[in-house]
Amino acid sequence: GWTEIPGVMMRDANFTFGENGEGECYVSRLSGDGGGLEANVNRWRKQMGLNPATPEEIASLPHRETLGRESVFVQLDGDYSAVGAASAKKDQRLLGLIVIVEGGGLFVKMIGPKALVEQNSAQFDSFCESLDIQVQ
């Protein structure tokens, strides 16, 4: 039920979902660690209108295995402000996965209306499990 759309800068895979494409899921790869776990978690928290998490809160986030590596799973609810957006979208949910891989970080992010993201959370998990990195 997802629609692949053309990638944009910093998005290796880019999808929309929902009746009007109001949800999105994408994969980004960054060289280095993209600022590190704490910086990325708190960047997402800020986008959702939330205060920064403490190092202890970040350390207690759930872990999953992705690409044969430990990854960190993030779920946030709030009012989402995309980069450059004039106003926040109310009652949104963000699901995110952060994986540190050779030479960089892999980030999977799903965002959309809370109920729609809840309906697509199993698809998010399946998508994350299907990821494979081709080294060139």
| 40, 98 contact by CB (below 8 A) | yes
- 18-46: pLDDT as tens digits: 999 999 999 988 776 567 788 889 999 99
* Residue range 56-88, pLDDT digits in tens: 999 999 999 887 888 999 999 999 998 778 899
Entry field: residues in the chain: 136
Per the prediction, the chain carries an average pLDDT of 89
108: left (phi over 0), alpha (psi -120 to 50) or beta: beta
Model's pTM, two decimal places?
0.90
The 10s digit of each residue's pLDDT in 88-133 is 999 999 999 998 766 678 899 999 999 999 999 999 999 999 887 6
Q: Which amino acid is at 26?
A: Y
